[in-house]
Amino acid sequence: MAFLAPLFFVGLAALAIPVLIHLTQREKKMVQQFPSLMFVRRIPYQTVRRRKIRDLALLMVRLAALALIIAAFARPFLWRPDAATAIGPGAREVVVLLDQSYSMAYGDRWDRAKAAARDAINGLGASDRASVVLFSSGADITMRSTGERDRLTASFEAATPTPAATRYGPALKVAGSILAESPLPRREVILISDFQRNGWRGEEGSRLPAGSTVTPVMIGGPTDAPDAAVTSVALARSTFSEQERVTLTAAVANRSDKPVVNDTITLEIAGRGVQTEPLNIEANGSASIAFAPFTVTSRNMRVSVRAGMDALAFDNLFDVVVSPAVPVRIVEVEGGTRAGSGLYLARALSIGDAPKFETVTRQATDVSDDDLRRASVVLLNDVDVSVGLGRRLARFVQDGGGLFVVAGPRATWPQEADVLPATLSQTIDRSRGEAGRIGGIEYGHPVFEVFRAPRTGDFAPSRFYAYRSVTALPMSQVLARFDGGTPALVERRVGSGRVLLFASTFDLSWTDLPLKPIFLPLIHRVIVYLANYSEPAPWLTIGQVFDPAASSAKSQAAGRLALSPSGRRLPLEDEGSQTQVLELTEQGFYEIRGQSANSDVTVIASNVDPAESDLTPMDPAEITAAATGNAASNGQAAESNVPLTPEAQERTQRLWWYLLCAGILLLGTDTLLSNWLSKA
């Protein structure tokens, strides 16, 4: 008899507690003086003696119950050194984890990994069973728990490295679930990988079931073949002759111990090489290659940077999608009677590259439907809005447009169009006495978030000599207030659009705000917010998820689908017309389009994770220790005829269960016995 957790027997000291209580009570028993025990002595002792015996029995029952429960916690088992022989060497559940990340494509690593997997499968005993799991950033069970070696081997023979990065955590979790379901007593994981440092993040929850062993098979070796990796590109936009140009700079790293000498790096546009530069990088060094600017002629230009062929091809290519910068189109509506009221606004909106602002100025009576259709934001600069214009603007906002109302002395708004966040009242004159200031700013709002940090913008120096008294509606949010408590900037969301109302002017008649440094960034933030503008990402990384519903790739056409770089068609809507996300698994350009021929097309560049090209290995014992909880666990444990571990023997016998049941039964008996004794 042996015990898995003999320390629990320290708990046997608890047995002394009832005995001590018993003894203590005996010592402390009350002595009752009585004149004579003449009569007491005549009463037979039978009652006393019987009670004592019963109490002793009760005590023994309690002690036995405690002892049994403690013994159960100590996890006893009958030690049988020949247990392994009895079960046989074949009774193993083996999970072969085969690293399929793109770093395994370096040199002959993949071939060696497959050979190791074959060896592992050929080493299976007659009664062993095995599963094959190919893993990279995810894990895929290609064959589950079988003893047929041919099927197991065939499940990975045709596989090739994927462009995904290495993550050991998901693979270990899958292996753990397979082992946990297995009835076989010996459980083993054979982990075949190059053990990249970047693939292990000390994942919690990747612990294998107790008694499992991990046999790491290192597919490493020297990194003596040159390996240039394009890790990133930078796009710098400029305008030349009213044409937008982009200068692309590629960052290239050499991940090997050999220098890259006399290699080339090529800029490709739409698959055609347009510029080739020599590439020379020292061992484990990096370089930056700037290409000549190219003109952006159309949307979704497919631009690639390709370094020369070397030992690891996956990281030689870096794709980006370049489109002309999309300006934020603004229609500035003026009242017309006050000249120059839009001067400062126009100046502020003429500056800016990311994004650019394209402003069209219109009189209130001249705003056309075409203007509204093209515009992202309408700016009403102190305008007396007619009912007709108000209704059209309300529709514009409902459809997702942004409306910025600058409420100067002439500003009105028709009640028929209910989109304004506040009602306008009289003008408050602060020209006499102390001028008004802005206080009470909601710095958590996207408009003011950039001004949250110290020295990033100060509204205090701005003076307001007059402003409109406005009353915010319940459904609106006050983003800034004047020092008197009157709302200064109020927001309301209507439909999918947004409306902001500023209760003063943007010229010098009522305020000196346009002269302050904060004016320009404030106007830019307001317009960007109202236009709901976001910079399109020029590329994504494999493993990331692309959500068509949340991007500018929204296509009006029904039945959208994605075309993968390998030509697979991936539907983006399920049967209920619900948009599905697209997980990027291939390297290259994804196309998202509607089913009709003239539908809008969105192109996404999908690149490999550059961190995966760093082949620095780690100590496999780290993963082994984390997965098994035992740093000493290694492949030696997988040898045949090794006796079963105490944990495995204990698990097969489960003596603790019977002991616990017996203990609980005794406790029940104790309850009955004590009840009976108390009644007796």
568 near 585, Cβ under 8 Å?
no
For position 35 contacting other proteins by CB under 8 A, the verdict is: yes
Return the structure tokens found at 284.
């484990």
Interface segment toward other proteins; rule CB under 8 A; list 31-39, 104-112, 238-246, 547-555: 31-39
For position 28 contacting other proteins by CB under 8 A, the verdict is: no
Query: Which amino acid makes up residue 345?
Result: L
Q: Which of 17, 19, 21, 51 binds other proteins (CB under 8 A)?
A: 51
| CB of 32 or CB of 566, closer to other proteins | 32
500-521 burial code (b ≥16 CB/10 A, e <16) = bbbbbbbbeebbebbebebbbe
| CB of 25 or CB of 298, closer to other proteins | 25
Integer Cα distance of 658 and 566 in angstroms: 60
For position 679 contacting other proteins by CB under 8 A, the verdict is: no
| CB of 46 or CB of 298, closer to other proteins | 46
CB of 209 to other proteins, least distance (A): 56
* Interface of this chain with other proteins, residues 539 to 558, rule: CB under 8 A: none
For position 576 contacting other proteins by CB under 8 A, the verdict is: no
CB of 57 to other proteins, least distance (A): 17
For position 56 contacting other proteins by CB under 8 A, the verdict is: no
| CB of 48 or CB of 274, closer to other proteins | 48
| CB of 272 or CB of 679, closer to other proteins | 679
Interface segment toward other proteins; rule CB under 8 A; list 38-46, 223-231, 477-485, 510-518: 38-46
Integer Cα distance of 132 and 143 in angstroms: 5
For position 29 contacting other proteins by CB under 8 A, the verdict is: yes
For position 41 contacting other proteins by CB under 8 A, the verdict is: yes
Interface segment toward other proteins; rule CB under 8 A; list 39-47, 318-326, 428-436, 563-571: 39-47
Interface segment toward other proteins; rule CB under 8 A; list 28-36, 96-104, 403-411, 426-434: 28-36
CB of 678 to other proteins, least distance (A): 11
103 near 45, Cβ under 8 Å?
no
Please list, in sequence order, all residues whose beta carbon lies within 8 angstroms of the beta carbon of residue 411, skipping any fewer than 6 positions away: 380, 382, 383, 384, 385, 405, 424, 468
Q: Which of 7, 13, 27, 32 binds other proteins (CB under 8 A)?
A: 32
Cα–chain center distance at 262? 41
Q: Which of 1, 7, 33, 242 binds other proteins (CB under 8 A)?
A: 33
Return the structure tokens found at 36.
């004579």
Say how many residues touch other proteins, by CB under 8 A: 18
Interface segment toward other proteins; rule CB under 8 A; list 36-44, 113-121, 470-478, 621-629: 36-44
Helices (H), 568-654: 620-628, 646-653
Give the CA count within 13 Å in the CB-facing half-sphere of 146: 14
For position 30 contacting other proteins by CB under 8 A, the verdict is: yes
CB of 58 to other proteins, least distance (A): 15
CB of 29 to other proteins, least distance (A): 6
CB of 47 to other proteins, least distance (A): 5
553 near 592, Cβ under 8 Å?
yes
Return the structure tokens found at 517.
């440094």
CB of 52 to other proteins, least distance (A): 8
106-117 burial code (b ≥16 CB/10 A, e <16) = bbebbebbbebb
Q: Could you tell me which of 15, 19, 16, 20 has the C-alpha nearest to residue 56?
A: 19
For position 678 contacting other proteins by CB under 8 A, the verdict is: no
Integer Cα distance of 614 and 218 in angstroms: 16
Q: Which of 7, 13, 27, 39 binds other proteins (CB under 8 A)?
A: 39
Please give the C-alpha separations between residue 119 and each of 140, 158, 191, 404, 454, in angstroms, as whole numbers.
Answer: 20, 17, 13, 70, 63
DSSP, residue by residue, 292-332: PPEE--STTEEEEEEEPP-S--GGGEEEEEE-PPPPEEEEE
For position 34 contacting other proteins by CB under 8 A, the verdict is: yes
Q: Kindly list the residues in this chain that would bind other proteins in the complex (CB under 8 A).
A: 29-43, 47-48, 51
